[in-house]
Chain A
Amino acid sequence: MVHLLQLEWKKLRHYRLFMILIAIYMIALPAMFLSGASMGFNEIAGGPKGLYIFPAVWKYLGYLGNWMTFFCFGFLGVSLVTMEFANKTLRQNIITGMSRKSFFLGKIYIMVVISAFAALYYLVIGLIFGFVNTDYVMTSRVMEGFMILPRYFLMCFAYMIVAFTLGLLIRRSGIALFIFFTYSIMGEQILRYFVHHKISSLFNNGNGFNDAMNYYPINAIEDLVPLPMPKEANQMMQQALDKGYNFFLTPVEATFITLFYLTLFIGLAYYVFRKRDL
């Protein structure tokens, strides 16, 4: 494992796109979070420093991190593998003496490390914002961040795996990135709220909403670190709940559904990778 990680690090250390994406994440996460105050989000969060105090800081920073990891590490997940196709270095690595299995594992390991780094960085930024802005620090509220941490890690890793699988199957970075971003931002919404809704309406006397609409991969990954709800939205949510439909998966549901999709995607990617000519 160490040997494979060292190899990935040798490849990435001089890879500009990798450094740029890591830098964007590291700079934009605190910078955008800071600018949230001037955009009036503090009031929505319910107080002059509403975004930045424990435990709210974990949720709001987590939600921003959700978007940032989706963008930066989704992009990176595709590039990690399409870069090897484009330069034909994947073939060369195999010819030089790697097995397909170890090449694949090397990529998985490096994505685990990157995701762990992203999650730890989230923790550090959260702690700094929290301690600077919270007047009465309560340990239990600080600890909430540590509870979110594993889900934050899983979220980042899962975005990367979805992107990586697309990159591996499609091989071309432009097309893979296009599919990753359009599916995640639009495609899945269309699937859920039009296709799925229409079909289930047919069987449920016109009431198409049901929980299965939430069991889509990007939605499940998103809900690992969900959008914190202001009060008004909570009322809307309650109305929907009364009709038997929940907009969000619970963290436990999201975790299990994400793990299911992870197994599926990694299994599919590995199966195809083993069989195919390079």
Chain B
Amino acid sequence: MAVPILEIQHLTKRYGAITAVNDLSLTVEKGQVFGFLGPNGSGKTTTLGTITGIIKANEGSYKWFEDKYSAPNARKRIGTLLETPNFYPYMNATKNLEIVAHIKKVKNPPINELLELVNLSERKKSPFKTYSLGMKQRLAIAGAMIGDPDVLIFDEPTNGLDPQGIAEVRNIINEIASMDKSILMASHILDEVEKICSHVAIIKRGRLLAQGTVGAIISDDATIEIAAENLSDLGAMLHSIESIRNINKNEHWLELSVHKNFNTGEINRLAFEKGIVLTHLAKRQRSLEAQFLEITK
């Protein structure tokens, strides 16, 4: 049985004339790595701000852990990194994490181990304000891990980081995902969602456009590009293959829509038998990116 961790129902948040989140409903279940995907300004952070208690929705509701706990106590069981890492600038990493542990009422938090996990042990005695953005972000991840929460929320965790920082943060998130935790991650970077997430919801202008497993959202279609010296002979031959759903012609080659399991070797063999020499043959999986652009068009 799938256990719902978070249920959002008909959430609406308006800022004056602007509707940041519009009648949004979705459910996240235990064990999912849930990607929350949308362009900048689509309402991802507003939604996450609402379910973490800092933004008051105009309409709708949300439930954590099937309402087993009060809202603040539910938040104590969730590790959250929202937008920017927020800590007391004049305190060092250890002291800042002690404050997080104090609020969550965690006795003897494994602060050194967590700083080890996010690679900050060497700088743990420096004040937060002296950290680079990457270090701040990693400290925020360590902060989110205090109290060993079952659910983690990451909002654009790699935003503004350099390539090395991005790689480090992704590694940490992958490591956390492998610890059997549920993760809710907002991002506008498709590659990130595709690599890390099991499920995805796509949001645009505050509205939910699609929701499902990453496999289902990425369509079954694949595209084959094919060219030969004589395109019309090739076209005639391809029309006889039933499993090709559609053929588009452009200047240089033909584009075939096929199922993603389609075997390109079959085409090559047929062409060879008919004496057609192929000059180009390539198969492309339709990426989440193409899908995303199509959905949010």
Q: Shortest CB–CB separation between residue A173 and chain B, in angstroms?
A: 14
Does A27 have its Cβ within 8 Å of any Cβ on chain B?
A: no
For B42-71 the 0/1 string (1 means CB < 8 A from A) is: 000000010011111000000000000011
Q: Shortest CB–CB separation between residue B223 and chain A, in angstroms?
A: 43
Known: A15-B90, A87-B89. A277 touches B75 (CB 8 A): no
| Interface pair A97/B72, CB less than 8 Å apart | yes
User: Main secondary structure on chain A at its contact with chain B?
Assistant: helix
Residue in A11, A102, A275, A277 whose CB lies within 8 Å of B88: A11
Residue in A11, A16, A97, A275 whose CB lies within 8 Å of B75: A97
| Interface pair B104/A96, CB less than 8 Å apart | yes
Does A268 have its Cβ within 8 Å of any Cβ on chain B?
A: no
Size range of the interface on B? 20 to 34
Could you show 9 A-B contacts with beta carbons less than 8 Å apart?
A10-B99, A16-B90, A88-B86, A89-B88, A94-B54, A96-B75, A96-B143, A99-B72, A277-B55
A100 to B72, CA, bound (A): 9
For B221-244 the 0/1 string (1 means CB < 8 A from A) is: 000000000000000000000000
For B87-101 the 0/1 string (1 means CB < 8 A from A) is: 111110001001110
Known: A7-B102, A87-B86. A95 touches B80 (CB 8 A): yes
User: Which A positions have Cβ atoms within 8 angstroms of B?
Assistant: 3, 6-7, 10-11, 14-16, 87-89, 91-100, 102, 275-278
| Interface pair A91/B102, CB less than 8 Å apart | no
Q: Which residue of B lies closest to A100 (CB)?
A: B53
- Chain B residues lying within 8 Å of A100, measured Cβ to Cβ, are 53
- Work out how many contacts link A and B, with CB atoms closer than 8 A: 72
- Chain A residues lying within 8 Å of B53, measured Cβ to Cβ, are 94-95, 100
Does B82 have its Cβ within 8 Å of any Cβ on chain A?
A: yes
Nearest first, the 7 closest Cβ-Cβ pairs linking A and B are A97-B76, A92-B86, A88-B86, A99-B72, A278-B54, A97-B75, A96-B103
- Chain A residues lying within 8 Å of B246, measured Cβ to Cβ, are none
- Chain A residues lying within 8 Å of B56, measured Cβ to Cβ, are 275-277
- Chain A residues lying within 8 Å of B95, measured Cβ to Cβ, are 10, 14
- Chain A residues lying within 8 Å of B91, measured Cβ to Cβ, are 14
| Interface pair B72/A14, CB less than 8 Å apart | no
Q: Shortest CB–CB separation between residue A20 and chain B, in angstroms?
A: 12
- Chain A residues lying within 8 Å of B80, measured Cβ to Cβ, are 95-96
- Chain A residues lying within 8 Å of B49, measured Cβ to Cβ, are 277
Q: Which residue of A lies closest to B80 (CB)?
A: A95
Does B84 have its Cβ within 8 Å of any Cβ on chain A?
A: yes
- Chain A residues lying within 8 Å of B130, measured Cβ to Cβ, are none
For B102-114 the 0/1 string (1 means CB < 8 A from A) is: 1111000000000
A95 to B64, CA, bound (A): 13
Q: With A91-B54, A277-B49 given, can you name 18 additional A-B contacts, CB distance below 8 Å?
A: A10-B98, A10-B99, A14-B90, A15-B88, A16-B90, A87-B89, A88-B84, A88-B86, A89-B87, A92-B87, A94-B75, A95-B75, A96-B75, A98-B103, A99-B70, A99-B72, A102-B72, A275-B56
Q: Which residue of B lies closest to A278 (CB)?
A: B54
- Chain B residues lying within 8 Å of A277, measured Cβ to Cβ, are 49, 54-56
- Chain B residues lying within 8 Å of A89, measured Cβ to Cβ, are 86-88
Q: Shortest CB–CB separation between residue A102 and chain B, in angstroms?
A: 7
- Chain A residues lying within 8 Å of B70, measured Cβ to Cβ, are 99
Does B296 have its Cβ within 8 Å of any Cβ on chain A?
A: no
| Interface pair A91/B75, CB less than 8 Å apart | no
Q: Shortest CB–CB separation between residue B151 and chain A, in angstroms?
A: 12
